[in-house]
Structure 1
């Protein structure tokens, strides 16, 4: 145990000093943590796929709805990435429509039929 002063005024002074010291220590910890976070290697976000297949839910089951460009804002939350070949197959032979907003069929060179 520490040899602390026996009187209240000196104990209060010591308490104030230690509180200030603790504040300084916490500030220094915060600065060091910020420096370490800034210099830490960052994981690159995965690239968005070029095309995605959007699904709707029918009776609780996923049903393919439409093909979109990877950055289309109209895409649903339920998607699957597609390669260019898969997107082309889905639109031309899979009976799946192309999004009317982002027009992946134009990008794929599919003519209107």
Structure 2
């Protein structure tokens, strides 16, 4: 090793390199966040339907619950329905109303 360069000088050089690397990495992160924000702004998710039905598992997939579209308690097996369909289903069986979002109350079935 060259004796004219001290260990302290080498460590300071290393620090400058690492600071530069950190600045470059932070810029890459900022660029990626900006890119993702632009993509999200272009592809806003559609609004949820007003009413959904949750279907059971198996053959026939019978309807097990009626939810308001925003309800987080609904499962993965859901389908959108109209207000009239929701009213008809709840009039036939009030036990289908979700106990969390209370579509029967919102529809005035109670």
TM-score, structure 1 length as denominator? 0.58
Structure 1, unmatched stretches of 5+, are 1-19
Residue 88 (structure 2) pairs with residue 89 (structure 1): yes
Q: CA separation of 1:40/1:65 partners in 2, compared to 1, >3 Å: closer, same or farther?
A: same
Return the offset for 1:24.
Answer: 8.3
Q: CA separation of 1:84/1:26 partners in 2, compared to 1, >3 Å: closer, same or farther?
A: same
Please tell me whether the aligned partners of residues 53 and 65 of structure 2 are also in contact (alpha carbons under 8 angstroms). Answer: yes
Return the offset for 1:107.
Answer: 1.0
Return the offset for 1:30.
Answer: 5.7
The alignment covers a number of residue pairs equal to: 98
- Structure 2 residue aligned with 1:56: 56
In 1, Cα distance between equivalents of 2:80 and 2:71: 13
Please tell me whether the aligned partners of residues 55 and 79 of structure 1 are also in contact (alpha carbons under 8 angstroms). Answer: yes
- Structure 2 residue aligned with 1:106: 105
Q: CA separation of 1:63/1:24 partners in 2, compared to 1, >3 Å: closer, same or farther?
A: same
Q: Tell me which protein shows more strand as a share of its residues.
A: 1
In 2, Cα distance between equivalents of 1:55 and 1:96: 16
- Structure 1 residue aligned with 2:68: 69
| Aligned-residue CA RMSD (Å) | 3.4
Larger gyration radius, structure 1 or structure 2: 1
Q: Tell me which protein shows more helix as a share of its residues.
A: 2
Residue 35 (structure 2) pairs with residue 37 (structure 1): yes
Structure 2, unmatched stretches of 5+, are 1-17
**Structure 1 runs, 4 residues or longer, greater than 4 Å off:** 20-34
